[in-house]
Amino acid sequence: MSLDFDSVTWQRKLHGALIPAVPVPFDADGRMHRAAQDAYVRYMAEQPVAGVAVWAHTGRGLVLGPDQRREVLRCWRAGFPRDRCIVAGAGANVQRESDPQAYVDAALRAAQEAVELGADALLLHPPTLFRGYPDKDEQIVRYHERLASLNAPLILFYLYEAAGGILYTPAVLAQLLALPQVIGIKMATLDSVMTFQDVSRQIEKEHPEKILITGEDRFLGYSLMHGARAALIGMGAACCRLQADLIRAFFSHRARKFLELSRKVDLLAEHTFIAPMEGYIRRMLWVLVHLGVIPVEAAHDPWGPELPETEFIALRTLLHEIGEVGEVGRGAGELRGGGASG
């Protein structure tokens, strides 16, 4: 796909699409498990997805080292079908860059590198450095204008403050959505349905040419009913067909099927996107273990919290309940030496 930031073209490309935000399989020593990574790329290439998102929060994009980032994107670009898009997260780590200029420069470097390595679009991490600034709104707009200067397709990322993001006022959103390089916005408000509703209405009224992309794992079905036209979600890291079928059922107006699949998808979300919320990345890796995609020794998240083995077992039971795995299969039972620490 070319770096075309015509938002109408992207609306056609992404309408009804599922784009998983993919995690990185690590071993217990914090090293990327390359065999598992390659197996995961092969698995995802066979799924009904329009693309993948790397370097997003699910893929620990803001904490990966430069060499790790490059290896991840190269793996996906080499092994993933060329007719599907790769979205790369672009941003800076506020723990590493506290100076505003250095922060913006780091985000620009990451964005430029992503484009050079073959990313088709950029997902802009919220610039949390500016959260407490008196001129926060002006800083947010300038930050996005700098990234827009790369002339690559941009997806805004509205992550509500309670979930670790930064508040975008309607006035700020209006300025950001007016940037021609912006093709849409991913909403991940987690527990603020009202914020999602308000932004959805603003886009419908002021910028219908931009695509509203849901990142709402905990209310995926409802977010489609309230204006989302595509999904870029961490839950999509596994059980892709289930979620793609849900999206197709909605857009083909098959209400009974939509409700049936919504129940299953909601159950998956209610077992993975739970407190401690940062544990969702390891839980999705555990789902991949139960599906037989990666080995249990590759299901570590070096930056995540410790999780009890009971959650690993509960996920296996849930996957059987919703029809994703048989009664007995790979990944069942104990972690078998894989450990339960994050």
The number of beta carbons lying within 10 Å of the beta carbon of residue 2 is: 7
Dist. CA 279–CA 265, nearest whole Å: 18
Which pLDDT tens digit goes with each residue over 280-330? 999 999 999 999 999 999 999 999 999 999 999 999 999 999 999 986 544
* CA R_g for the chain: 19
Structure tokens given for 116:
């050079």
* pLDDT value at residue 339: 47
Which pLDDT tens digit goes with each residue over 132-190? 999 999 999 999 999 999 999 999 999 988 777 899 999 999 999 999 999 999 999 98
Which pLDDT tens digit goes with each residue over 4-47? 778 888 988 999 999 999 999 999 999 999 999 999 999 999 99
Strands 85-90 and 121-124: parallel
Alpha carbon 196 to its chain's center: 16
Q: Which residue has the higher pLDDT, 342 or 245?
A: 245
Question: Bridge-partner residues for 233, per DSSP?
Answer: 20
Give the domains, in start order, of the chain with CATH numbers. Answer: 7-252 (3.20.20.70)
Q: Please tell me whether the peptide bond between 127 and the residue prior to it is cis, using omega within 30 degrees of 0.
A: no
